[in-house]
Chains A and B, each alone.
Chain A
Amino acid sequence: MSSRDRSPAAQQGSMTTHSSARTRDRAATAGFLVLLVAFIGLVLVPGYRVADQLSADTAVLKLASEQRGQPAAIAKSLVTIRDRLGSRDFVGQAVKDLGGSVQGFDQSLAQLKLSAAGNSTELRAIESLWSDYRKALDPVAGFKGLPYRDSYSSGTQLNSSGRQLQKDVRQAIKSSRGATDRLDSALAAVGASLERQVVTASATLRKLMLTGVAFACLLVALLAYFQWLKVRHERLAVEAQNQTRDILGTVKDGLFLLDADFRIGKACSASLSALFRRDDFSGMTLEDLLRDTVTEKTLATAMKYVKLLWGERANENLIRSINPLAEVEVHFDRGDGSRDLRYLEFDFHRVKGDRGVRHILVSVTDVTSRVMLARELKVSQANAQVQMDMLLGLLQVDPDQLVSFLDDTSAALAQVNSVLKVPARGDGDFRAKIDQIFREMHRIKGDAATLGLASVESRTHAFEDLLQDLRQRSQLSGNDFLPLVVNLDEILGHLQSIRELANRADALRTNALLTAAPTARAATATPHDAGEHGMTAPLDALAQRVATDAGKKVRLVTTGLDEVPGDLRKTVRDIAIQLVRNAVVHGIEDAGTRRGLGKDEAGLLQIQFMPGERGSELAFQDDGCGIVPERLREAAVRRGDLSASEAQQLDTKASLALIFKPGFSTHDGNGRDAGRGVGLDFVLKAIQSIGGRISISTAPGRYTRFTISLPAQSGQQEAVA
């Protein structure tokens, strides 16, 4: 199947389906990507941020909660320091604890400032409070050294730094009374604010998680859809692959793709192997494929043609019209030295892609049967036309005469073949055959002309051309006779066709007679009943045909031909045919000349048969130009038959005898009716073969008369007796 067998609608439909599938796939992929990006942008990133914030807020909330006890701890440390100062106890550890608490609160405050509550009013209030409070705490927390001095006299007393510390502690305790509650309240407010934020963040995170789940479901659905598409595509691909394999395995055409290097693609139809009698096409180029099967000229033309197909601007339809491989004769080696002749039809189609021609699709079809059938049809049509023409011609011929002609001609051709069969090696042997064959062929030609069988007449004339050519050659061999055998075979075949057609014509005639009215039967029979034994009419037809060909006019008058005995009839007819042709061509002048001579425009031919007891006489006379002995002698000298001196010595009788010499003719041309020098030679031989005699009387410018004495034949003698 070639792609041209697919309808354009089908191709369009297929292309549309593939295109929409591709678009759908692309849209699905784009949708998936958008969803993925949205999922990341709208769910994952915000979720991460919210979770991160939530985590931070939770930590800060915890910190804020922890710091709520810090002001109270600071106040307690201050009280401890005051008390210890009063009891003159060791205050170092209490001061150190206070310093740690102050430092811890500083750090916590710094962390709170970095948190979401960093800009809150409550934190700013805490900072302000703490800043003021810190001023009171710093001298206490930053105390170094010993606050006591010991003496024997007064025991342990506060030294100056101790007294200052005591003063600072009292001041700090005083500050702590207002600051501790306010700091606690502020921290509580910050904690509450952070808690609200945590709650909000948690709610946001919950929503994001729900959205994420929705996105995830959607993505899973999309992934499932993609998977389904993939499976579907794979199934379709496998199905398409199977279909392609089935097509390539079943299609009777050889299908393959050519790349830009003219290499055959890997996928080929199975028929390609049968078409080219080989199994492996891998790596082969088109040139490799064709090289041993077509002529070099065809191969070169084909490669140029395929190059043209790769041209983007070349019109494919125009290129296809000049395809040199549209019907190419190929030969395959059978393996036994012989070759098989096939006819293949190559069809090329360009396979186009986005970037121009991608491949050339080549389809190869074995059209041997079609080609052979077309040839046979042509031949049979021509034969049918020829046979029809012949059949129509044969219907005009008297059936008896036709049968007689066919029998006589078959016998004559058998005689010709017998002459050929006589062994011959030397030039003389071959030359001797020519005259014998010439006479037989000339007689057949005369008979055919008489019956109006132009096809036989032309064939025998062509045969005579060959003989004439051989006669003029200086040396003869068997090779020279090959054309004779070939032509003889052709004439035999033609006669066989005529015989078959004659049978059909006879059947047609019989049917016509059976179905026609009696008057019609009489009319049908009339043409053949005219004349003497049916001999005059054919002779007259021959005379008129030869005269027309020669541009002359002629009239035939016969007497006594109905009295020709049966066994002489063939001889008389053969002689009459040759003499009629001879007289019209050589004797009768053209109409203008005759008018000038005071003669009737139409030349007169007279044939008279006179039976007698001791034999018969056949007289043939024309009122033409007569025979001029001098012209005969000149022709003999010109032909090389006689020297000039020998010609001069010939008397009139001997000069007239020259016209019976084989191959002798005064006619310059080489037409179908004269010029071979065979007709009168045949007449003489025919007369001699039955023991007859011939004499000539002639008067230049007036007439020529042949008088032929024929001996009584056995049948004739019995009839006379």
Chain B
Amino acid sequence: MLEEQDIRAFVHGTTRYFEVAAQQAASVGSPYLVTEGAPEIHDYNGVIAVSGRRNGIVYFSAPRGMLTVLLMKMNESNVSHEYLCDLVGEVANTIAGNVRRDLGKDFAISVPSVVTGAGNSVDLPAGGRPVVIPIHWRSHVAKLVVCLQ
């Protein structure tokens, strides 16, 4: 069963990254559930595994365009695949750090892994309905997917 406080911690970590790293706030779209199958993913996905009080997967999924602009906004001219992977991993890492700070020792969070390619998928634990939270930044939309048991 989902808990609002847990999801808020992940959402806050995500928006906080944009505020600090890009100096431009992101807004949160209308969240919804995925009741059948797995959510579609974008080009770059930073995935973290959660254990402890809750178990599951959380990932930040962003299109190439958004990450490219984000890199440029951070004065980085190299927008290669490797840099984009590093960036999406960094977002996931920041989310993890914020959650550790906000929720303390209740959560054990793994180091991020990166999944690329819109055709790929992120393995989600059985028994939980993923919540998709759209993240709007400039004209781009990424998504934060929280799937906790």
Chain B residue nearest to A294 in the complex (CB): B105
Contact of B49 among A338, A423, A492 (CB under 8 A): A338
- Distance of A433 Cα from B29 Cα, bound (Å): 12
Instruction: Tell me whether B145 is interfacial, beta carbon within 8 Å.
Output: no
CA distance A482 to B7 in the complex (A): 8
- Mark each residue of chain B from 97 to 134: 1 if its CB lies under 8 Å from any CB of chain A, else 0: 00000000100111100000000000000000101011
Chain A 488-516: CB-based contact to B (< 8 A → 1; otherwise 0): 11101100000000000000000000000
A interface size (C-beta, 8 A)? 34
Distance (whole angstroms) from the CB of A403 to the closest CB of chain B: 19
From B1, B3, B111, B131, A336 is in contact (CB under 8 Å) with B111
Q: Is the CB of A477 within 8 A of B35?
A: no
A485 within 8 A of B: yes
Could you mark each residue 50-66 of chain B with 1 if its beta carbon is under 8 Å from any beta carbon of chain A, else 0? 01110000000000000
Q: Which of A148-156, A424-432, A580-588 contacts B (4 or more CB under 8 A)?
A: A424-432
- Is the Cβ of A337 less than 8 Å from the Cβ of B96? yes
Contact in complex: B110, A338 (CB < 8 Å): yes
Q: Is A10 an interface residue (CB 8 A)?
A: no
B27 adjacent to A425 (CB under 8 Å): yes
| Cβ-neighbour of A485 out of B33, B52, B111 (below 8 A) | B33
Interface residues of A: mostly helix, strand, loop or mixed?
A: helix
Q: Tell me the residues in window 467-495 of chain A with beta carbons closer than 8 Å to chain B beta carbons.
A: 477-479, 481-486, 488-490, 492-493
A297 to B13, CA, bound (A): 27
Q: Which residues of A contact B7 (CB under 8 A)?
A: 482, 485-486
A337-B110, A478-B134, A482-B11 known; A492-B33 Cβ under 8 A: yes
Contact: A479 with B11, CB < 8 Å? yes
Contacts of B28 in A (CB 8 A): 477-479
Complex-state Cα separation, A198 to B29, whole angstroms: 128
Q: Is A341 an interface residue (CB 8 A)?
A: yes
A59 within 8 A of B: no
Q: Could you tell me the dominant secondary structure of chain B's interface residues? A: mixed
B-binding segment of A91-99, A175-183, A313-321, A414-422: A414-422
Give the number of chain B interface residues (Cβ < 8 Å): 31
A304 within 8 A of B: no
- On whether the beta carbons of A493 and B1 are closer than 8 Å, the reply is yes
Q: Kindly list chain B residues whose C-beta atoms are within 8 Å of the C-beta of A430.
A: 30
Q: Are A486 and B4 in contact (CB under 8 A)?
A: yes
Question: Do A492 and B30 have beta carbons less than 8 Å apart?
Answer: no
Residue among A336, A417, A425, A429 making CB contact with B32, cutoff 8 Å:
A417
Most chain A beta-carbon contacts within 10 A, residue among B52, B108, B110: B108
A400 at the interface (CB under 8 A from B): no
Query: Is the C-beta of A370 less than 8 angstroms from some C-beta in chain B?
Result: no
In the complex, chain A residues whose CB is within 8 Å of the CB of B8: 479, 482
A490: nearest chain-B partner, CB-CB: B1
Q: How far apart sit A481 and B30, CA to CA, in the bound complex (Å)?
A: 7
Bound CA span A430–B28, Å: 11
Residue of A nearest to B141 (CB): A423
Instruction: Provide the bound-state CA to CA distance between A483 and B133, in Å.
Output: 12
Which residues does chain B contribute within 8 Å of A433, judged by CB atoms? 30
Give Cα A421 to B29, complex, Å: 9
A245 at the interface (CB under 8 A from B): no
Q: Quick check: A483 and B105 within 8 Å, CB to CB?
A: no
| List of B residues within 8 angstroms of A528 by Cβ | none
Question: A334 contacts which of B2, B27, B33, B108 (Cβ < 8 Å)?
Answer: B108
What chain A residues lie within 8 Å of B110 (beta carbons)? 336-338
Complex interface: chain A residues within 8 A of B109 (CB):
337-338
A339 near B: Cβ within 8 Å? yes
User: Which of A334, A336, A478, A488 counts the most B-chain CB atoms under 10 A from its CB?
Assistant: A478
Shortest CB distance A133–B (Å): 121
Contacts A422-B30, A478-B28, A478-B29 given; does A489 touch B105 at CB 8 Å: no
Cβ contacts under 8 Å, B53 to chain A: 341
Q: How far is the CB of B5 from chain A (nearest CB, A)?
A: 9
Mind listing 17 A-B residue pairs with CB under 8 Å? A337-B111, A339-B105, A341-B51, A341-B53, A341-B105, A417-B35, A421-B32, A433-B30, A478-B28, A478-B133, A482-B31, A485-B2, A489-B33, A489-B129, A490-B1, A490-B2, A492-B33
Q: Given A340-B51, A482-B4, 18 other A-B contacts at CB below 8 A?
A: A334-B108, A337-B96, A337-B109, A337-B110, A339-B105, A341-B51, A341-B108, A420-B30, A423-B29, A481-B30, A482-B8, A482-B11, A482-B133, A486-B2, A486-B3, A489-B33, A490-B1, A492-B129
Q: Give the top 5 A-B pairs by smallest Cβ distance, nearest first.
A: A478-B28, A338-B108, A339-B108, A421-B32, A420-B32
